[in-house]
A and B are shown apart, each in its own frame.
Chain A
Amino acid sequence: MAKVKKHRIAIIGGGLSGLMAALKVCEAGSEAWIFSYCPYKRSHSLCAQGGMNACMDTKGEHDSIYEHFDDTVYGGDFLADQQAVKGMCEAAPELVRMFDRMGVPFTRTAEGVLDLRNFGGQKNKRTVFAGSTTGQQLLYALDEQVRKWEAKGMVKSFVFWEFLEIIKNKEGVCRGMVAQNMNSMEIKAFAADAVILATGGPGQVFGRCTASTICNGSAVSRVYQQGAHIGNPEFIQIHPTAIPGSDKNRLMSEACRGEGGRIWVYKDGKPWYFLEEMFPAYGNLVPRDVASRAIYDVCVNQHLGVDGENKVYLDLSHISAEYLERKLGGILEMYSEFMGKDPRKVPMEIYPSVHYSMGGIWVDRKHFTNIPGLLASGECDYQYHGANRLGANSLLSAAYSGTVSGPAAIDWANTGERGSELTEEELEAARQRCVDEFEKIVNMNGTENAHELHQELGELMNKYVTIERVNKDLDYCFEEVKKILKRWDNIGVTDHGHWANQEAMFVRQLRNMILYALVVTKAARMRDESRGAHYKREFPNRDDEKFMKITIADYDPNTEEPIITYEDFDHSLIKPRSRNYAVAKKE
């Protein structure tokens, strides 16, 4: 056998995508150096409750991979690269079998095979699940496999290290990265044969969202500032059913609707099941953007929200307690725990919340970014979901994209035109720049509190850049976010120390978040049409002539603002047709 060359691949992120990539790297005989804010098994992937899509076709419905492919493209309102989506749907069943072999305790039928459930935007049962904690179980399985490789010395873990930026050589190729230990505050430069970013979504840019506190998009924003293209940033998915909270909007899984949950409000003193009335073909199972807009309309425009507030009922109380326990146990427990009411007996009160970013770092089908040597996979990339993501498709895309980015990184390390290695001086210069930046922050003595500023940013973004977007409001929002960016300079920190200084790290993340907020807002302003999650009353229709294009955002270092351009993409396999969930999907 030919000797395989041992490379070092730096992977930022220990969620599903990062860990999947790491396994592929190790199997190819190379070392994976994984950097993460937290032990991998605490990554945000574990919050996913509902399930993962794959055409298993074990329910006598003649489900097909083509149908999964078509549902994804249609659900994404035809803005996804169709070749890429096809690849993902084809690989899905095999990925499920891999997870099954790794010991994921999937929910099973009496026969001992994997059970399937319904999910929004799909007529067939296609979603494998592990009770109500699918993401947790999938993540644990990969975490365990990675631990095995760590015991063998092929994985080097940098847990509680924050990625700061990439390092390019003279030729502009990414050959390393800088990171900081979150306890000792040590900043270090690392050389690597390729860097894979798998840092998840940017939910915290919106303050309150369904994501974990570490989903701040900071890493994505930083590589954008270093020249990476951002693709389709304006497409932010709003999940229709979350429990509003001051610290976090807690997700009520779409599985509640999948298992028969009904959404309603009182109208003229009687329950009004408005989704069932508006969309007879799909009823409560319409995709997320459609459901969110309907709820928004009923609450904000028709003032029919529960108790006059922005809330509607999600009702399971008509379903038998035994069935609910078996199918949704953990989810319902969460509602009781955080709200003190039993959803088996009384309808839950929910409202839409920022949930997922379809957009992210632009990548090609092998998950290379436009910066040579830098790859991206998982929620931080822009691939697969177009203008709207189907439920249970992102555990799939996170895992699948890792199976692509890992081997692609190895390919690149073997055969890419990587130019010169980083010299000691170059590594040290990159490190010093990050040290200087950090020292400046530690010594900030202004009057603004970073957490207060973050809250203001979130409120702005939530108000103007979510369910309904209006051009003049977006203009206003953009200017306001720019003011927040200015005010960032006037932050004061109370902790001037060099040990586990979470405050200083947050100040640095916040600046990255603000710059990313500008990207989302500007891209939303420029797209004068409605497509998937992006909706403008002024332009209520999809405009394929002008906007059947992906948005590309580039950082302008002079203004610190994004430059927006548009690019064509591959939609050759399925002809675009209008997306209408009032009637059954036509092919």
Chain B
Amino acid sequence: MAEQKFVTFVIERQDGPDSKPYTQEFDVPYRPSLNVVAALMEIQKNPVTRDGKKVAPVVWECNCLEKVCGACMMVINGKAQQACCALIDNLKWPIHLAPARTFPVIRDLLIDRTVMFESLKRIQGWINVDGTWKVHEAPRQNPYTAATAYEISHCMTCGCCLEACPNVGPQSDFIGPAPLAQAYLFNINPTGQYDEEQRLNVLMEKGGITSCGNSQNCVEACPKGIKLTTYIAQLNRDVNKQALRNIFNH
């Protein structure tokens, strides 16, 4: 039998929000098409470090294992990405895992992304339907605009783009790329456009769109390939137009 190959993981751990981080190393038996989540699952079954110490299993978040729920975002070899589709074969070994520190760390690789969901409230990220009851008709939609909406609506609130953005973090109150793109999404919906003005006004406030320095990091980080900077630029134009309207209507 061929000798079993192992892949080493260097994991940045932290016992609680206020504890000091430390690293531990684990060896995981290699197999083709192994991904980072599957490797973490192996560690769960046998939580023993390289130097033979039995430790508490590593804590992280995952659900779908299909790159669609957004839960498993972490920093792998220095880059924020989804762990479930990070194939070992495509990564440099040893593999370094760390939590995305743009967000508060709860434990190990588990982070608190509440702020992203709160941002969706701030931008009024919904269509103002009257209710779930019958109103007989839904508006027809231009299929091309609908295709754009479909692209933006893939955003799984993973936070890769916020982690990658130099302007998001404890030093600033910038709302970040994902919620901006979402505001644009609701603005291009035939019903959602009725509330465009309110969304644009929110984005004029402190921490809104003007905090974007156009550094393009976000668009490269997005695992869903959402053209973030394109939509942020269009939104920026809309915000500017709205600002002018606000002046003239005063």
Residues of A within 8 A of B (CB): 20, 23-24, 27, 37-39, 41-44, 46-47, 94, 97-98, 100-103, 105-113, 130-131, 133, 136-137, 140-141, 144-145, 147-148, 150-151, 183, 212-214, 245-248, 250-251, 334, 337-340, 403, 449, 451-452, 455, 494-495, 497, 499-500, 502-503
Flag whether B241 is at the interface (Cβ < 8 A): no
Residues of B within 8 A of A (CB): 15-16, 31, 33-35, 37-38, 41, 44-47, 54-57, 59, 61-71, 84-85, 87, 89, 106-107, 110, 113, 117, 120-121, 124-129, 131-143, 146-147, 149-150, 153-154, 156-157, 186, 189, 191-192
The answer to whether B150 and A105 touch across the interface, beta carbons within 8 angstroms, is yes
The minimal Cβ–Cβ distance linking B66 to chain A, given in whole angstroms, is: 6
Interface residue from A102, A130, A136, A246 paired with B34 (Cβ < 8 Å): A246
Residues of A within 8 A of B157 (CB): 39, 41-42
The answer to whether A108 and B45 touch across the interface, beta carbons within 8 angstroms, is no
New A-B contacts (17) at CB < 8 Å, excluding given A247-B84, A338-B85: A24-B132, A27-B131, A46-B68, A94-B134, A98-B134, A103-B126, A103-B127, A107-B150, A108-B143, A148-B128, A245-B38, A248-B65, A334-B67, A340-B89, A495-B57, A500-B106, A503-B56
Expressed in whole angstroms, the Cα–Cα distance for A113 and B149 within the complex equals 15
Expressed in whole angstroms, the Cα–Cα distance for A76 and B43 within the complex equals 41
The minimal Cβ–Cβ distance linking B48 to chain A, given in whole angstroms, is: 9
The answer to whether B65 and A112 touch across the interface, beta carbons within 8 angstroms, is no
The answer to whether A101 and B138 touch across the interface, beta carbons within 8 angstroms, is yes
Residues of B within 8 A of A141 (CB): 127
Residues of A within 8 A of B41 (CB): 247, 451
Given known contacts A108-B143, A340-B33, A455-B45, is B186 in contact with A103 (CB within 8 Å)?
Answer: yes
Given known contacts A101-B129, A102-B129, A106-B146, is B33 in contact with A212 (CB within 8 Å)?
Answer: no
The minimal Cβ–Cβ distance linking B102 to chain A, given in whole angstroms, is: 17
Given known contacts A108-B146, A130-B150, A494-B47, is B126 in contact with A148 (CB within 8 Å)?
Answer: yes
The answer to whether B143 and A110 touch across the interface, beta carbons within 8 angstroms, is yes
The minimal Cβ–Cβ distance linking B184 to chain A, given in whole angstroms, is: 13
The answer to whether A136 and B127 touch across the interface, beta carbons within 8 angstroms, is no
Given known contacts A44-B63, A145-B129, A147-B126, is B192 in contact with A103 (CB within 8 Å)?
Answer: yes
Residues of A within 8 A of B149 (CB): 103, 105
Nearest residue in A to B225 (C-beta to C-beta)? A333
The answer to whether B153 and A98 touch across the interface, beta carbons within 8 angstroms, is no
The minimal Cβ–Cβ distance linking B193 to chain A, given in whole angstroms, is: 11
Closest 8 CB pairs of A and B: A100-B138, A495-B56, A247-B38, A144-B126, A105-B150, A112-B140, A103-B127, A500-B107
Expressed in whole angstroms, the Cα–Cα distance for A38 and B69 within the complex equals 10
Interface residue from A97, A130, A137, A144 paired with B138 (Cβ < 8 Å): A97
How many interface contacts (CB-CB < 8 Å) are there between A and B?
180
Query: Can you report 27 residue pairs joining A to B where beta carbons are below 8 Å apart?
Result: A20-B132, A27-B132, A38-B71, A42-B69, A44-B63, A97-B137, A98-B132, A101-B127, A105-B149, A107-B146, A108-B141, A108-B146, A109-B143, A110-B143, A112-B143, A130-B153, A145-B126, A145-B132, A147-B121, A147-B126, A150-B121, A183-B106, A246-B34, A248-B65, A494-B47, A494-B57, A497-B56
The answer to whether B156 and A247 touch across the interface, beta carbons within 8 angstroms, is no
Residues of B within 8 A of A147 (CB): 117, 120-121, 125-126
Residues of B within 8 A of A133 (CB): 68, 154
The minimal Cβ–Cβ distance linking B178 to chain A, given in whole angstroms, is: 12
Expressed in whole angstroms, the Cα–Cα distance for A234 and B183 within the complex equals 46
Given known contacts A24-B132, A101-B127, A183-B106, is B66 in contact with A499 (CB within 8 Å)?
Answer: no
Interface residue from A23, A42, A340 paired with B71 (Cβ < 8 Å): A42
The minimal Cβ–Cβ distance linking B183 to chain A, given in whole angstroms, is: 12
The answer to whether A44 and B153 touch across the interface, beta carbons within 8 angstroms, is no
Expressed in whole angstroms, the Cα–Cα distance for A14 and B133 within the complex equals 20
Expressed in whole angstroms, the Cα–Cα distance for A42 and B159 within the complex equals 13
Expressed in whole angstroms, the Cα–Cα distance for A103 and B127 within the complex equals 6
Expressed in whole angstroms, the Cα–Cα distance for A521 and B226 within the complex equals 45
Residues of A within 8 A of B186 (CB): 103
Interface residue from B45, B84, B85 paired with A451 (Cβ < 8 Å): B45
Expressed in whole angstroms, the Cα–Cα distance for A452 and B85 within the complex equals 23
Expressed in whole angstroms, the Cα–Cα distance for A131 and B149 within the complex equals 12
Residues of A within 8 A of B153 (CB): 105, 130, 136-137, 140
Residues of B within 8 A of A251 (CB): 66
The minimal Cβ–Cβ distance linking B217 to chain A, given in whole angstroms, is: 22
Nearest residue in A to B150 (C-beta to C-beta)? A105
Residues of A within 8 A of B33 (CB): 245, 338-340
Expressed in whole angstroms, the Cα–Cα distance for A497 and B56 within the complex equals 9
Interface residue from A98, A151, A213, A452 paired with B62 (Cβ < 8 Å): A213
The minimal Cβ–Cβ distance linking B63 to chain A, given in whole angstroms, is: 4
Nearest residue in A to B157 (C-beta to C-beta)? A41
Expressed in whole angstroms, the Cα–Cα distance for A367 and B185 within the complex equals 36
The minimal Cβ–Cβ distance linking A291 to chain B, given in whole angstroms, is: 21
Expressed in whole angstroms, the Cα–Cα distance for A107 and B41 within the complex equals 37
Given known contacts A42-B70, A500-B107, is B192 in contact with A250 (CB within 8 Å)?
Answer: no
The answer to whether B107 and A105 touch across the interface, beta carbons within 8 angstroms, is no
The answer to whether B192 and A212 touch across the interface, beta carbons within 8 angstroms, is no
Expressed in whole angstroms, the Cα–Cα distance for A503 and B150 within the complex equals 38
Nearest residue in B to A144 (C-beta to C-beta)? B126
Nearest residue in A to B141 (C-beta to C-beta)? A112
